[in-house]
Every structure is written in structure tokens, then in C-alpha cells.
Amino acid sequence: MSEITFRTAIDADRTKVYEALNTHDGLTGWWTTGVNREGEVLLFDFPEIPEPFRLRRDLADKEQIVWTSIGAFPPHWSGTVVTWQLTDTPDGTGTLVDFRHTGFADDDPGLAHTADTWGGLMDRLKQFTESGTPCPFFTL
């Protein structure tokens, strides 16, 4: 199985990063303005996409956030797992985010596009948490 990984140092405390990954206002601040929730399932809508991505929140604390893709769309995400590991930066002034999206088929033709999109999203997460100014990658 293939995976996507990123490590990003953010000049913001862990609580701020956690909130950006675990609250409506946080997620709409850097990812997409189309965020809804059904219990522990997060629904992410994107322009020109036929149905929302459905990610079940399996764990959410200030050290790790884990989501599992449980929706039928996009098909190549089904059963994949997104993990955000949060630790202090070595100098203790910010947050180190170790991101992993695992479980893709080795021959997945959409992997490169997904990795490129996650790279842009990590930049937006950093920008939003450091500035406090919303900058969603996708706007409905």
C-alpha cells in the first residue's frame, strides 16, 4: 500500500493547530468552506464534486487526530486513513505536524494528484494557524 507523508513546522501552539484540525471554524479556515458533521463523521464538500468526502473521526486529542475515509467517494480514498501527529517543535515555540494519509493502492493513478493537493493544504493549514486569517483551499 502507498501513503502520503508531510512534516510541517507551524509557529503556533498545539491547541491552535488542534482546533484547526478538529472544529468547524478551524477546518473551514484552511481546507474547504463546505464542512458539516454527522456525529463523528465529517463531511467535506468541494466545488464540482458530486458528493461529500466522508471521514469518520476515530481519535481527536492534542497529540493525534485520526480519520478514516468511509464514503464511496472518491472511490480511491475508501478505507484510507488520515493521521495528524502533533508534537512541540524542538525549540518549544510551535507545533510539529506529522501528516500521513495511508492505505492507497500501489497503482492508484490519483495518488500524485492527491499528494499535490495535500501539499497545498498543509501550506494553508500553516498559513491559517500562524495568521488566524481564513484562507480555505476550496470555496463553495
Task: Give the count of beta carbons closer than 10 Å to the beta carbon of residue 29.
Answer: 23
User: Which grid cell is 62?
Assistant: 492534542
Residue 125, pLDDT score: 98
pLDDT per residue as tens digits for the range 23-60: 999 999 999 999 999 999 999 999 999 999 999 999 99
The pTM assigned to this predicted structure is 0.96
Residue 87, pLDDT score: 98
Q: What is the mean pLDDT of residues 63-71?
A: 98
Residue 40, pLDDT score: 96
Residue 41, pLDDT score: 98
Q: How far is the C-alpha of 21 from the C-alpha of 136, rounded, in Å? A: 13
Residue 109, pLDDT score: 94
| Amino acid identity at 124 | R
> Do 67 and 55 contact (CB within 8 A), yes or no?
yes
> Do 22 and 60 contact (CB within 8 A), yes or no?
yes
Q: How far is the C-alpha of 11 from the C-alpha of 93, rounded, in Å? A: 7
Q: How far is the C-alpha of 55 from the C-alpha of 69, rounded, in Å? A: 4
Residue 20, pLDDT score: 98
| Amino acid identity at 104 | F
